[in-house]
Amino acid sequence: MEFNNLVIVGPPGAGKGTQAKTLAKNRNIPHLSTGDLLREHRRQKTELGKRASSYMDAGDLVPDSLILQMLEERLQRPDCVQGFLLDGFPRTLAQAEELRKMLERQSRSLSRAIILEIAEEILVGRLSRRRVCPTCGSVYHLDTKPPIEAGLCDDDASQLIHRPDDHEEVILNRLKVYRQQTRPVIGYYHRHRLAIAVDASAPIEDVTRLIHEGLEERALVASRV
């Protein structure tokens, strides 16, 4: 149970959402994407959604004051008792520290941080050709993971969308924001000895296997000491 408090970290387009969906299903824990939570607030036109909107459109980070309360409330729901998989959070060193404190307040701690490693050149192509299901959040790619029927979600037949922030100029800003603000989080998790680094340029199923092996390996080592 203790091994199921997980985060997945990597640049936009590394495959966090794709892998998180499978991993969360296999481990029977909720997949909590802060991006998805924010988009849901936006759809519902909540005060938070309205305030986050302009940052999201520009590809900038939404201020912590908006994110932290939303996340703490979500982590306290009963479905997180057996663990959780956070995707898109933490995105700054300050958020990583806030998460540590938040979990401490709830008498928990992080088990592992899965780090997706990938060269930046690959990411623009992944993001600009990504399509997502607005209903269930399934992630597709026009070349590497196309839906069975063009434009429609395999699971619920919803019309797939091209996220407004998946256009090139916003993508380039998101990558810059990642380099400046999020990349240091990787060092933070290495220093805390929580990091499991995985080559995210491999095909989707291979990355899934590498993550599984990394988690198993660490669990084995932990059970020996």
* Contact of residue 207 among ligand ADP, ligand AMP, none (CB under 5-8 Å per partner type): ligand ADP
Question: Greatest CA separation found in the chain?
Answer: 51
* Nearest residue to ligand AMP on Cβ basis: 35
The catalytically annotated residue of 16, 27, 39, 112 is 16
C-beta atoms surrounding 115 within 10 Å = 21
CB count in 10 Å sphere of residue 14: 25
- Per CB under 6 A, 56 contacts ligand AMP: yes
Left (φ > 0), alpha (ψ -120 to 50) or beta: where does 196 sit?
A: beta
d(CA 59, CA 191): 28
| Residue 77 DSSP label | S
List the one residue from 162, 203, 213, 217 that touches ligand ADP (CB under 6 A): 203
**21 contact, one of ligand AMP, ligand ADP, none, CB 5-8 Å limit per kind:** none
DSSP code, position 139:
E
Q: How far apart are the first and last CA of the chain?
A: 17
Closest C-alpha among 188, 190, 198, 193 to residue 221: 193
Catalytic residue, from 21, 27, 39, 91: name it: 91
If one asks whether residue 7 binds ligand AMP (CB under 6 A), the answer comes out as no
How many CB atoms are located within 10 Å of the residue 179 CB?
12
Strands 139-141, 130-132: pairing kind? antiparallel
144 belongs to the binding site for ligand ADP (CB under 6 A) = yes
Examine residue 90 and tell whether it contacts ligand ADP (CB under 6 A).
no
Among 10, 35, 83, 137, binds ligand AMP (CB under 6 A): 35
Residue with tokens 């810059």: 176
State yes or no: residue 137 binds ligand ADP (CB under 6 A): no
Q: Which of residues 158-177 bind ligand AMP (CB under 6 A)?
A: 165, 174
Near ligand ADP by CB under 6 A: residue from 5, 18, 34, 182: 18
* Residue 91 touching ligand ADP (CB under 6 A): no
Dihedral pair phi/psi, residue 129, rounded to 5°: -110, 15
Q: Is 17 in the site for ligand ADP (CB under 6 A)?
A: yes
* Residue 59 is a binding residue for ligand AMP (CB under 6 A): yes
Where do contacts with ligand AMP occur on this chain (CB under 6 A)? 12, 34-35, 38, 55-56, 59-62, 67, 88-89, 91, 95, 165, 174
Active site residues: 16, 91, 130, 163, 174
Residues that bind ligand ADP (CB under 6 A): 10, 12-18, 126, 130, 139-141, 144-145, 202-204, 207
